[in-house]
Amino acid sequence: MQPMKLLVHLHVFYHDQVPWFLERLRSLDGYDWDLIVTFCEADAAMEKAVKALKPDARFLPVENVGYDVWPFLKMLSLVDLAPYDILFKLHTKNITSRTTVHLNGLHLRKSAWRDILVDALLDSPAQVDRVVSVFREQPDAGMVCSSLLYASMGFPEDGQMLTDELAALGMQTEERRFCIGNMFAIRPCLLSLLGKRDFRPEQFPSHSESGSGGTLAHVYERVLSLLAPSQGYRVVTCTSASDAACMRSVRLWRLCKPVLTFLFNMDWEGIPRRKVLTILGLKFNLHS
């Protein structure tokens, strides 16, 4: 059987997290893989640490805009993806906030959000084997991400902004779930659709201006997850062995959510996207 060639893109904004990511990347030992690291600020110590694990790693400076999305798009514009069977998209994430984030039935603090996303892909050599086997054995699998953080949309950028970008890319899909946090493994061939757009750094707000949502970067967090279903592929979700307890919480949330949605909910539905208010099962179209 032909071995699969892997590409890892790691965007480093928080340099102190590099050792943690390098430890996870050790799970790729035994595979044929390349590493591209993007960064906003040069750091000799970071490069030295990365090269200690991966001497042939490539380093690409990027503008400090668009969170992890612009670095990923810029990397795609400069790298030939043809040799690769799987691309892993990773990035450092703010883990210093004391705020608890409530997502998909989970209560996430500190590094939990980052850890769940990465460990679903790289928790151990066995986890990597499971991810790779999905792409090898399931031809219709286009993307793999965490089961815990693959959830329905329902944010400001899920309305007209998303509809416009999907139209510009020629993407059509009824799917409206995405990987919250934007770390996943994907078939590189699915990314060719992004070549229809001429992205520029000035389209993306700076890190300090981006806020919590409603920007092009947040829209493309959704677009990237929709690349697979819009091209006839499935999104396959998985968890690491350490996330069993979290999975129980998510399953409970998914059981309760239809009842809560029936009682009161505000969401975007249909194509084109329309804001819909649901009260006791009755739906009211809202015009924004």
List the chain domain ranges.
5-93+120-239
Confidence (pTM): 0.84
Tell the residue number behind the tokens 């690491």, with chain if given. 240
Give 46's Cβ-side CA count (13 Å radius). Answer: 23
Q: Provide mean pLDDT across the span 112-126.
A: 95
The whole-chain average pLDDT of the chain stands at 87
pLDDT in tens, 225-242: 999 999 999 999 998 876
State the pLDDT confidence band at 101, using cuts at 50, 70 and 90: confident
State the pLDDT confidence band at 121, using cuts at 50, 70 and 90: very high
Instruction: List the structure tokens of 133.
Output: 């086997």
Interatomic CA distance for residues 58 and 39, integer angstroms:
11
Residue 256's pLDDT is what?
A: 61
Interatomic CA distance for residues 162 and 95, integer angstroms:
28
8 Å CB contact between 163 and 230:
no
Residue 76's pLDDT is what?
A: 97
DSSP labels, 93-108 = ------PPEEETTEEE
Paired strand residues for 36: 9, 58
Interatomic CA distance for residues 9 and 38, integer angstroms:
8
Interatomic CA distance for residues 120 and 164, integer angstroms:
31
Interatomic CA distance for residues 209 and 280, integer angstroms:
38
pLDDT in tens, 171-227: 999 999 999 999 999 999 999 999 999 999 999 977 654 445 678 999 999 999 999
Residue 49's pLDDT is what?
A: 98
Tell the residue number behind the tokens 């997290």, with chain if given. 17
> Which residue type occupies 173?
T
Q: Which CATH class is domain 5-93+120-239?
A: alpha beta
Tell me the backbone φ, ψ of residue 276, rounded to 5 degrees.
-125, 130
State the pLDDT confidence band at 18, using cuts at 50, 70 and 90: very high
Task: Mean pLDDT check: name the lowest of 12-16, 46-50, 138-142, 163-167.
Answer: 163-167
Residue 209's pLDDT is what?
A: 45
